[in-house]
Amino acid sequence: MLEHGRWAQRRASPPAATMGRRRAAAGDHHAAGAMMTSRFSDKGTPSARLSRAEFMRWLGVAAAALIAPAAPAAPAGAPRAAPLLTRRIPRSGEAIPAVGLGTWLGFDAGSGAAERAPLAEVLRRFFAAGGRLIDSSPMYGRAETVVGDLLAELGLTRPASGAAGGGAVEPFLATKVWTTGREEGRRQMAASLQALRTGRLDLMQVHNLVDWRTQLATMREWQGQGRLRHIGVTHYLPSAFGDLERLVRTERLDFVQLPYSLALTGAEQRLLPAAAAEGVAVIVNRPFEGGDLFRAVRGKPLPPWAEAFECRSWAQFFLKYILAHPAVTCVIPGTAKPQHIDDDLAAARGPLPDEATRRRMVAFWREL
Per residue in 152-167, pLDDT tens? 999 998 765 555 444 5
CATH of domain 86-367: 3.20.20.100
Task: Determine how many CB atoms are found less than 10 A away from the CB of residue 54.
Answer: 18
Question: If DSSP codes are grouped into helix, strand and coil, which group holds residue 77?
Answer: coil
Residue range 96-120: mean pLDDT, rounded: 96
**Helix locations, 226-281, DSSP H:** 241-250, 271-278
**Diameter over CA atoms, the chain:** 56
Task: Find, among 30, 41, 47, 253, the residue nearest to 136 by Cα.
Answer: 41
Contact residues for 269 (Cβ-Cβ < 8 A; gap 6+): none
pTM: 0.80
Mean pLDDT computed over every residue of the chain = 83
156-to-160, 172, 341 alpha-carbon distances in Å: 13, 11, 19
CA pair distance 368, 359, nearest whole angstrom: 15
In a 13 Å sphere around the CA of 348, the CA atoms on its Cβ side amount to 26
Q: What percentage of residues in the chain have a pLDDT greater than 70? A: 76
Region of residue 316 (phi > 0: left; psi between -120 and 50: alpha; otherwise: beta): alpha
Q: Tell me the pairing of strands 281-285 and 101-102.
A: unpaired
- pLDDT band at residue 196 using 50, 70 and 90 as cut-offs: very high
CA pair distance 335, 350, nearest whole angstrom: 22
Backbone angles phi, psi at 232, to 5 degrees: -170, -175
**Segments making up each domain of the chain, as ranges:** 86-367
Question: If DSSP codes are grouped into helix, strand and coil, which group holds residue 4?
Answer: coil
CA pair distance 120, 360, nearest whole angstrom: 38
* Residue that wins the pLDDT comparison between 74 and 90: 90
Strand locations in 227-310 (E): 228-234, 255-259, 281-285
Predicted confidence (pLDDT) per residue in 243-286, tens digit: 999 999 999 999 999 999 999 999 999 999 999 999 999 999 99
CA pair distance 67, 339, nearest whole angstrom: 14
CB 129, CB 349: distance < 8 Å: no
Q: What is the CA radius of gyration of the chain?
A: 19
* Residue that wins the pLDDT comparison between 53 and 284: 284
CA dihedral sign, ordered 196, 202, 207, 210: positive
**pLDDT exceeds cutoff 90 at 17:** no
**Structure confidence at residue 157 (pLDDT):** 81
**Structure confidence at residue 78 (pLDDT):** 43
